[in-house]
Chains A and B, each alone.
Chain A
Amino acid sequence: MWSLRLNVENEVERLRKHDLNALDSLIPLYQHRLFRYLLRMVGNNSVAEDLFQQTWMRVIERIDTYKEYSEFSAWLFSIAHNLAIDYWRVRRPEPLDEDAPANEHFHDRSVDALSAMISSERAVAVAIIVETLPPIYREVLTLRFEEEMKIHEIAEVLQQPLPTIKTRLHRALNLLRDRLAPRGVAAQ
C-alpha cells in the first residue's frame, strides 16, 4: 500500500514536470475503478469512456491543484464527479435527486431480476435496482460499496460535509430497500 502510494506520488511529480509518459503507468492503476464509477453515474458506455478521457485531460490541466487533497484517488474521483455532474446538467436538466429516467430495458430486466432473486443472485438484482435510483444516491452507494471509500474520502470527492454524506447514504439505502422489498430481495 505504502509502495503504491510512493509510486503514485512519483508519477504525479513527473506529470507536474509535464512528463506525459507518467500517464502510461498512472492510468492503469485507476482505470477500472474510474471507468466503473463513471459508468454507474452516466449509465452509458460511450459517454463513460468520453468522460474517462476528459477526466485525464483535466488531470493534466489542473495537476497543480492536487496538493489540496489527501489522496490522488480522491482528487481524481472529484474531477470525474464534476464532469459527470456537468454531463447530467447539460443532458438531463431534472434535479439530481430525482429518479433516473425510465430505462426502456428496465421492465425486461425486472424479469431477469426476478429470476436472479430466485436463484439467490442478489447482487445482480440489487445492481439492477440501483440503476433506477437518482444519480446522487447511486453515486454514494458506488463510492462506498464498490470503491470502498471511507466516509471522509467520499466527502472529499463530493466536496460535501460528513453529515451530508451520512444522510445521503442513509436515504440511498432506505430507498434501495424500499424498491427491493416488492421483489422480496430485502426480506430473504
Chain B
Amino acid sequence: MNTHSKVRDLLALAASGLLSDAEEKFVHQHLQECAECAAELDRWRLITGALNQRPAPPFSASLAQQTVSRVKDACSAQSEKRVSVFFLSVAIGFGWLFCLVSVLFFAAAINHFSFSNIGSASIAVALLLSTVFTIITAGVAAWVLMGAERKTLYVSFA
C-alpha cells in the first residue's frame, strides 16, 4: 500500500480527531502535497461536523423526578423485603424447633410420657421429620419471594 492509499484510509479517523500523534504527522505531511486527499478530508469533515450537530431529542422535564421516586421506592421495597426475609428466617427457625419438640413429645407419649425411654431411633426420626418440614416450608417461601421478583423484572421490561 503506497502513502496515498494509507493516508486515504486514515482520513475518516483524522476528521474524527482520533489519530495518534505519529499518524497525525504522517497525514499532515501528505496533505501538503496532495490536493485530492485534502479535499477528501474536507468531505469527511462535513460529515463529522454534521454528526456533532445532530438535533437534540426532546427531554421530559419530569423524568429526573420520576427516576428519583422510582429509585427511592425500589430501595424502600428492598429494605422491607430484607426485613421480611429476616422475620421469615426467624419464623422458620422457630418452626423447626417447634416441630422437633412436638415429634419428641409424640414419641414420649407413645412411651407413656417417659422421656428417658425415647430411643435414639425416635430422636433421629424427629430430627428428620422436622428438617424435612422446615426445608419444604423454606422452599415454598423462597419460591413465593422469587416469583414476586420475577414479576417485578417482567413489569419493568414490558
Partners in one complex: yes
Question: What A residues does B56 contact at CB under 8 A?
Answer: 32, 36
- Is A102 in contact with chain B by the CB < 8 A criterion? no
In the bound complex, how far is the Cα of B157 from the Cα of A126, in angstroms?
31
Nearest residue in B to A148 (C-beta to C-beta)? B52
Q: Shortest Cβ distance from B45 into chain A, in angstroms?
A: 11
- Is A123 in contact with chain B by the CB < 8 A criterion? yes
Among listed A6-14, A54-62, A69-77, A93-101, interface-contacting one:
A54-62
Q: Shortest Cβ distance from B150 into chain A, in angstroms?
A: 14
In the bound complex, how far is the Cα of B47 from the Cα of A90, in angstroms?
33
- Is A5 in contact with chain B by the CB < 8 A criterion? no
Which one, A39, A50, A57, A185, contacts B47 given CB within 8 A? A185
- Is B6 in contact with chain A by the CB < 8 A criterion? no
Q: B156 and A32: CB pair below 8 A?
A: no
Q: B70 and A53: CB pair below 8 A?
A: yes
Q: Shortest Cβ distance from B31 into chain A, in angstroms?
A: 18
In the bound complex, how far is the Cα of B47 from the Cα of A130, in angstroms?
11
Question: What B residues does A141 contact at CB under 8 A?
Answer: 51
Q: A169 and B18: CB pair below 8 A?
A: yes
Q: A187 and B16: CB pair below 8 A?
A: no
In the bound complex, how far is the Cα of B74 from the Cα of A39, in angstroms?
24
Which one, A54, A146, A188, contacts B46 given CB within 8 A? A188
Question: What B residues does A176 contact at CB under 8 A?
Answer: 47
Q: Could you tell me which residues of chain A, from 124 to 182, have a CB within 8 Å of some CB in chain B?
A: 124-127, 130, 141, 144-146, 148, 151, 166, 169-170, 173-174, 176-177, 180
In the bound complex, how far is the Cα of B43 from the Cα of A27, in angstroms?
38
Question: What A residues does B72 contact at CB under 8 A?
Answer: 20
User: Assuming A28-B64, A127-B55, is B70 touching A144 (CB within 8 A)?
Assistant: no
Q: Shortest Cβ distance from A186 into chain B, in angstroms?
A: 6
Q: A23 and B68: CB pair below 8 A?
A: yes
Which 3 pairs of residues, A with B, have the shortest CB-CB distance?
A145-B51, A123-B53, A126-B50
Q: A151-B18, A185-B46 are in contact. List 17 more A-B contacts (CB 8 A).
A: A20-B71, A23-B68, A23-B71, A35-B57, A36-B59, A57-B74, A60-B75, A90-B157, A123-B52, A125-B50, A126-B47, A126-B50, A127-B55, A144-B18, A173-B12, A173-B48, A174-B12
